[in-house]
Chain A
Amino acid sequence: MNDAKIRVNKFSFYYGQSKALHDISVDVKENTVIGIIGPSGCGKSTFLRSLNRMNEIITDTKTDGEIIIDGRNIYDKDVDIVDIRRKIGMVFQKSNPFPKSIFDNVAYGLRINGAKDKNYIAQKVETSLQNAALWNEVKDRLNTNAFELSGGQQQRLCIARALAVEPEVILMDEPASALDPTATLKIEELIQKLKEKYTIIIVTHNMQQAARISDFTAFFMMGELKEYGETNKIFTSPAKKITEDYITGRFG
């Protein structure tokens, strides 16, 4: 796969002395959904947060290897971390709207990236909310506080906020883990739609969810990538015994 959007090459990650990720190598194609599954503490979130260098908020961390996005190692010294994070959006496990109006939440990323023109911002907010399938529910109350939205709406607002700055890749860290089935379904439908424009990497605890929405699945355990392949294959005829044990619910 030479047309890989993201190429992870022998990537390792350390918290202090402890190694959390061991020599991960993986290629991600453009416009696909990658599901990352594995038991708690297996390093799947750490891996996800390595892709937009979000782990660097924590001090005393170290990396080895490369993560190449569009032909460029994002861990190179001369890479601007702000560019990386704008290009690679992130949706967190717990929806984290800011204590601002719905409009200002979506406009936030535009404004910090220097947008001034009011019409442009308003237009962008509308299309982002439409793309996040939230517009119809909030168009009449854009100025109310985002905290008044339901849990599922808040999470879609966070997706809209991420979309507004026009990322190319979207990282999602268990985006539906705190939502009820209806809200979860909406998020899953949304992910299918977003795939047309974006490359999506999603960490999930829910194996059915991974099977439903992802094109490729990566199975992590103890900081190692145990198996990676087309979702169909992973879930029907996994190459490794341990993968089979996990997806059939024998542990985890």
Chain B
Amino acid sequence: MNTRQLKQIFGFNLLRICAGIIFLSIILILYDIASKGLNIISWEFIFSMPKKGMTEGGIFPAIVGTVMVTSITAIVSIPLGMGCAIYLNEYAKNGKLTRLIRLSIRNLSGVPSIVYGLFGVVLFVQLMNFGTSILSAGLTLGLMTLPWTVTASEEALKNVPKSYREGSLALGATKWQAIRTNVLPYAVGGMLTGTILGLARAAGETAPILFTGVAFYIPFIPKSVSSQFMALPYHLYVMSTQHPAIEQVKPIAYGTALVLIIVVFAMNLSAIILRYKLRKLKEE
């Protein structure tokens, strides 16, 4: 065997080890959480209130809180992000200002989530007077997911062939008619896919909701969007680091972690399925 072949074998195995390490760590995390969390999960755990200072009972308010906050995030992020993407991709001239806007959006996705949290306190909680609430937290997360939504939506719009726009304009369509009838219908799936991935990330975030509305322990369902709330990621944080009876509540912490992972995973899965279905539709 000559050195060239040896180098080849060495390089190949090095790459294999890289892939292996990543795969193994994911499996380990999932196994650890599943093995310790699975036996506590039951219908009762999911659908009942926490009891006796969170040492017993379920996590229902945290699930409802996360769902409500994520819904607000979606309501903010989807129209605003898609609108911005349509403007940037279809209307804006490719000048300095557009490039600057695009650059800022890309950079926003790199801003640490705790910074969004602080920004949310100032803007929504104090300045706009929404208080610490589901609304403030949802709006903060909405801002945080915007870069994802905008970027994914722009990509989806770029994938619609230019000839659809031209063909439509050549028949006497206005620009907006061409976009609405002959571009958006073919881009909306891709736009949603990217958006769901952004929302899934938002659902698992703790820092942005920390100052803007999440609460330690509220053993009932939030009455409105201006109430404080419990949320899965924060509940997990509390149960694993802040609770006085930390050993006793460990199983609850693992159960919460598992539920959170399942929620996020389900959202990602739905995005994957949506993308797969749309791809098939396009090929037909």
**Beyond A98-B182, A99-B186, A108-B181, is A57–B166 a contact (Cβ under 8 Å)?**
yes
- Selecting from A9-17, A82-90, A213-221, A222-230, the interface stretch reads A82-90
Q: How many Å lie between the Cα of A57 and that of B183 in the bound state? A: 15
Looking at the complex, which of B11-19, B171-179, B258-266 is the stretch in contact with chain A? Answer: B171-179
B residues 106-132 in Cβ contact with A at 8 Å: none
Q: With the chains together, A99 CA to B283 CA distance in Å?
A: 10
A-B Cβ contacts below 8 A, count? 63
> Is there a chain B Cβ closer than 8 Å to A150's Cβ?
no
Q: How far is the CA of A109 from the CA of B170 in the complex (A)?
A: 9
How far apart sit A144 and B167, CA to CA, in the bound complex (Å)? 20
Interface string of B154-176 (1 = CB under 8 A from A): 00000001011111111111100
Are B94's CB and A57's CB within 8 A?
A: no
Q: Count contacts on B: residues with CB < 8 A to the other chain.
A: 21
Shortest C-beta distance, B186 to chain A (Å), equals 7
* Interface check B93, CB cutoff 8 A: yes
For B167, the chain A residues whose CB sits under 8 A away are 92, 96, 98, 158, 161
**Residue in B closest to A99 when the chains form the complex, CB atoms:** B186
Q: Is the CB of B172 within 8 A of A108?
A: no
CB-CB under 8 A from A113, the residues of chain B are: 171-172
Contacting pair A112 B177 (CB below 8 A): yes
A52: CB under 8 A from chain B? yes
Closest-CB distance, A46 to chain B (whole angstroms): 14
Q: Report the interface size for chain A: residues with CB under 8 A from the other chain.
A: 26
Report chain B residues within 8 Å CB of A63: none
A59 interface residue per 8 A CB criterion? yes
Contact B163 A85, beta carbon cutoff 8 Å = no
Cβ contact within 8 Å between A112 and B181: yes
Q: Name the A residues within 8 Å of B163 (CB-CB).
A: 92, 94, 96
Which residues on A sit within 8 Å (CB–CB) of B94?
59
Interface flag for A122 (CB, 8 Å): no
Most central of B93, B171, B174 by chain A CB within 10 Å = B171
Q: Told that A98-B182, A99-B186, A112-B172 touch, could you supply 5 new A-B pairs with CB distance under 8 A? A: A86-B172, A99-B282, A112-B168, A112-B177, A165-B172
Residues of A within 8 A of B (CB): 52, 54, 57, 59, 82-83, 85-87, 89-90, 92, 94, 96, 98-99, 108-109, 111-113, 145, 158, 161-162, 165
A to B CB contacts below 8 Å, 12 in the list: A54-B166, A54-B169, A57-B165, A82-B172, A82-B173, A82-B174, A92-B167, A108-B168, A108-B171, A109-B172, A111-B181, A145-B284
